């Protein structure tokens, strides 16, 4: 008896890279996804948001060419989170960010990618400013745990 579609030995790395994308989702961390935006502009909006909303600090990760994630330090309520992200999306006049913002509202949780995605490597930190002792620290711990799990899965 033969079964179509099964292989004798699976290639976990190939399957992982083509099918599994891991992200970080929560309601209490202000996160902003800047697509098609130069780093200089991302820094400007992250600094403005941090100062205006007293967010204590931020990190910026490069997810791919001219695509960045900003994560802020102060814990906030979901209502305040969406107020801040909506403020940045509206004032920056970034249509991709406005669309991302609406999707987070619909899902009732903000999500940013932490693993690789097809040809894109996992986002890497390119800039840090201010405090990292609260939400950023939690994000970085989750990110490191996720990367360790992926490494162990690929090694098997």
pLDDT digits (tens, 9 = 90+) for 10-54: 454 555 455 678 899 999 999 999 999 999 999 999 999 999 999
Please give the Cα distance from 140 to 150 (Å, whole number).
15
Give the torsion sign (CA, 22, 17, 35, 66): positive
Cα 128–130–134 angle (5° rounding)? 95
The answer, yes or no, to whether residue 86 has pLDDT greater than 90, is: yes
| Domain presence at residue 84 | yes
Please give the Cα distance from 80 to 60 (Å, whole number).
20
The answer, yes or no, to whether residue 117 has pLDDT greater than 90, is: no
| Domain presence at residue 9 | no
Residue 98: left (phi > 0), alpha (psi -120 to 50), or beta?
alpha
Instruction: State the chain's mean pLDDT as an integer.
Output: 89
| Domain presence at residue 50 | yes
**pLDDT number for residue 1:** 41
pLDDT higher for 155 or 111? 111
Q: Which domain holds residue 129?
A: 23-155
Please give the Cα distance from 75 to 89 (Å, whole number).
20
Environment class of 71 (CB within 10 Å of its CB; exposed 0-12, middle 13-18, buried 19+): buried
**pLDDT number for residue 89:** 97
Min mean pLDDT across 6-15, 38-47, 62-71, 140-149 is at: 6-15
| Domain presence at residue 2 | no
Number of domains in the chain: 1
Q: Which residues contact 59 (CB under 8 A, 6 or more apart)?
A: 70, 71, 125, 127, 128, 129, 132, 136, 140
| Domain presence at residue 132 | yes
| Domain presence at residue 130 | yes
Average pLDDT over residues 126-132: 98
| Domain presence at residue 100 | yes
Please give the Cα distance from 151 to 5 (Å, whole number).
27
| Domain presence at residue 27 | yes
């Amino acid at each position: 008896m033969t079964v179509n579609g099964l292989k004798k030995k699976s290639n976990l790395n190939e399957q992982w890279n083509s099918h599994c994308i891991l992200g970080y989702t929560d309601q209490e961390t202000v996160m902003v996804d800047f697509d098609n935006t130069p780093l200089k502009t991302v820094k400007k909006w992250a600094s403005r948001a941090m100062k205006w909303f007293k967010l204590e600090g931020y990190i910026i990760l490069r997810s791919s060419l001219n695509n960045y994630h900003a994560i802020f330090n102060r814990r906030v309520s979901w209502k305040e989170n969406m107020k801040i992200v909506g403020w940045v999306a509206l004032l920056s006049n970034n249509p991709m960010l406005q669309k991302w913002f609406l999707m987070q509202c619909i899902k009732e949780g903000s999500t940013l990618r932490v693993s690789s995605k097809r040809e894109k490597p996992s986002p890497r930190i390119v800039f840090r400013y201010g405090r990292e002792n609260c939400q950023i620290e939690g994000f970085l711990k989750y990110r490191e745990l996720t990367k360790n799990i992926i490494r162990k899965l690929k090694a098997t």
